[in-house]
Amino acid sequence: MTPGNNTATHEWVLLIHQLPPKPTNLRVRIWRKLQKLGAVAIKNSVYVLPASEKSHEDFQWLKQEIESAGGEASVFKAASVEGATDQEIIAAFRKARDEEFATIAAEFDGLTGAIREQARGKHLSAGRLSAHESEVNRLHSELERIAGNDFFNATGRVAAFAAFERCQKQLRAAQGPKANTSEIKVGKLDVAKYQGQRWVTRRNLHIDRLASAWLIKQFIDKRPRFYFVADGETIDGAIPFDMFGAEFTHHGEDCTFETMLKRFGLTENKGLREIAEIVHDVDLKDDKFHRLEAAGLNAIIDGLSKVLRDDRKLLQQTGVVFDGLHALLSKDAVKPARTKKRNGRRIKR
């Protein structure tokens, strides 16, 4: 399936359900879960997602929950949906994502304006800055979730990410030039105290969480146990990373991978520093380091994510990619021969 191509043949997975009158909160609970999955309603109590192993599994879990509460549900795949063309279904997905992108963009812009006004009035205390940073992280996580459900390239994506970047820049300006170091606790953490730990992060791994998990396994905790949870879930006794309110998450203009490098004193490792720049450019999309490798790494991660729907398998496979990157970037790069044109031909110098 090629997102955005209206002439392509699409396959769908459908959830048809009927909910019991009690418990009364079941309807809201199921609706919220459908919203998080990015499903759209094409008829009353009929929801659809683009067909994939993940979407089919997600609907199966919902089916089980509905049935355990006394309701009825069916999940099946279809090459077409009666009463709706592929183009109409795709338009419904784009409309739903555009509405979500518009909402999150408005929240970012509202926060940007609040930070600007408080900075002008000199009302930005350290506590307020910390609260604003936490809010930016929360909204960024929500933006990532919406983007993950943007199956057909909704037009509102660009404006939403632009609003995020404006908010980030305003927050950085308010924090001042020393924001990076002041927002992160001083002092190197002892990796010896982090052995055999449980580590938890949000499921549906992408670049920052994948790179951070690889960093933990290769340079911090030699016997880590990883857990991947839905938004709002926790694991008792586990160390969260790239999650709202965690110590190891975005700080200032740093992504989680950069934060962990600094906290564990790993910034002297040349290969890790360079990987951090690439991960930053992919994750934050601000082109801060202008790393040419960013587009390639992002394409590899996206491709593997489509093939490997299991987070543990994805972490295992991408670990090899990061191993290779680290080995390559730890060495002094060999500069390619420069070329110049002479009489229409390229000649090596």
HEC secondary structure over the chain? CCCCCCCCCCCEEEEEEECCCCCCCHHHHHHHHHHHHCCEEEECCEEEEECCHHHHHHHHHHHHHHHHCCCEEEEEEECCECCECHHHHHHHHHHHHHHHHHHHHHHHHHHHHHHHHHHHCCCCCHHHHHHHHHHHHHHHHHHHHHHHCCCCCCCHHHHHHHHHHHHHHHHHHHHCCCHHHHCCCCCCCCHHHHCCCEEEEECCCCHHHHHHHHHHHHHHCCCCEEEEECCCCCCCCCEEECCCCCCECCECCECHHHHHHHHCCCCCCHHHHHHHHHHHHHHHCCCCCCCCHHHHHHHHHHHHHHHCCCHHHHHHHHHHHHHHHHHHHCCCCCCCCCEEEECCEEEEC
Is the same domain home to 98 and 143? yes
Is the same domain home to 165 and 272? no
Q: What b/e sequence results for 247-285 when a residue is b if at least 16 CB atoms lie within 10 Å of its CB, and e otherwise?
A: ebbbbbbbbbbbbbbbbbebeebeebebbbbbbbbbbbe
pLDDT, residue 301, reads 94
Look up residue 83 and give its amino acid.
G
- What is the total count of domains within the chain? 3
The distance in angstroms from the start CA to the end CA of the chain is 46
Look up residue 138 and give its amino acid.
R
- Output the pTM of the full model: 0.55
Is the same domain home to 99 and 77? no
Alpha carbons 186 and 231: distance in angstroms, whole number: 29
pLDDT, residue 177, reads 56
- Enter the tokens of residue 89: 């279904």
Alpha carbons 258 and 292: distance in angstroms, whole number: 18
Is the same domain home to 260 and 317? yes
Tell me which of 83, 106, 127 is where a domain ends: 83
Q: Around Cβ 135, how many Cβ atoms within 10 Å?
A: 18
Is the same domain home to 172 and 92? yes
pLDDT, residue 341, reads 42
- Enter the tokens of residue 301: 């991660």
Q: Is residue 337 part of a domain?
A: no
Is the same domain home to 224 and 260? yes
Is the same domain home to 204 and 144? no
Q: Is residue 335 part of a domain?
A: no
Q: Is residue 184 part of a domain?
A: no
- Averaged in consecutive runs of 10 residues, what is the pLDDT profile of the chain (349 residues)? 50 95 90 93 92 90 92 93 91 97 96 93 83 87 88 94 92 68 56 94 94 97 94 85 86 89 94 96 86 93 90 95 95 44 45
Pairing outcome for strands 40-43 and 46-50: antiparallel
Alpha carbons 328 and 150: distance in angstroms, whole number: 34
Is the same domain home to 245 and 131? no
- Structural domain for 105, as ranges: 87-176
pLDDT, residue 184, reads 40
pLDDT, residue 334, reads 37
pLDDT, residue 335, reads 38
Q: Is residue 7 part of a domain?
A: no
Alpha carbons 119 and 112: distance in angstroms, whole number: 11
Is the same domain home to 306 and 212? yes
Of residues 55, 19, 52, the one with CA closest to residue 38? 55
Alpha carbons 211 and 319: distance in angstroms, whole number: 8
Is the same domain home to 206 and 125? no
pLDDT, residue 24, reads 87
Q: Which CATH number fits the domain that encloses residue 39?
A: 3.30.70.240
